[in-house]
Amino acid sequence: MSDYATVATAIDTLLKSATGVIAATVYKYERYTTQDSSYISSFKDTTGNVIHGYIITRTKIEEIPEASRTNTEKCTWLIRMFYASSSSGATENTVFQPLIDTIRTKFRASPSVGGSVLTSSPLQVDRIENLMFGSVLVHYAEMRLETEDEVSFT
């Protein structure tokens, strides 16, 4: 059985290994601050000084009875991606959409999510849009990963 921290860390590691992902702006929890400026700063890529960040969280757990002393645990994981939008830089075509493809390829190559679970679904992209991130227009994507593992109990 994999616990939250183990799988979240494995997803974090896999995500950070994708070319173009900035490791310092990947978080394994929902970020909150008391000031918008602090929140926005925590997602800024220090090399380009633009918003480029990720939040990883688990959104669902389903446990299915199986054999004696073993159940199947199915979890849904959500990766939220934010990237500063620039019409003049055509960031949707040049950075954002290609980065989604790169991340999906990374996860496709590791169905056990770095050995942390028995198996996982391909990374699904359920939502792609532009939205306001504080006072900044960003590209936004929600990527969903379904994992499956065994849970033993006494």
pLDDT tens sequence across 97-152 = 999 999 999 999 999 999 999 999 999 999 999 999 888 899 999 999 999 999 88
Alpha helices in 19-68 (DSSP H): 36-41
What b/e string do you get for 88-101 counting C-beta neighbours within 10 Å, with b at 16 or more? eeebbeebbbebbe
pLDDT tens sequence across 22-44 = 999 999 988 777 777 778 888 88
CA distances to 4, 63, 97, 99 from 83, in Å = 26, 35, 10, 10
Q: Which tokens sit at 36?
A: 């918008």
Report how many domains make up the chain. Answer: 1
Domain extent for 16: 4-152
pLDDT band of 1, cuts 50, 70, 90:
low
CATH code, domain with 12: 3.30.70.1700
What is the reported pLDDT for 42? Answer: 86
CA distance linking residue 109 with residue 54, whole number of Å? 20
CA neighbours within 13 Å on the CB side: how many for 110? Answer: 19
pLDDT band of 84, cuts 50, 70, 90:
very high
This prediction's pTM:
0.92
What is the reported pLDDT for 77? Answer: 98
Q: Among candidates 143, 149, 80, which has minimal Cα distance to 114?
A: 149
Q: Which tokens sit at 55?
A: 């939040």
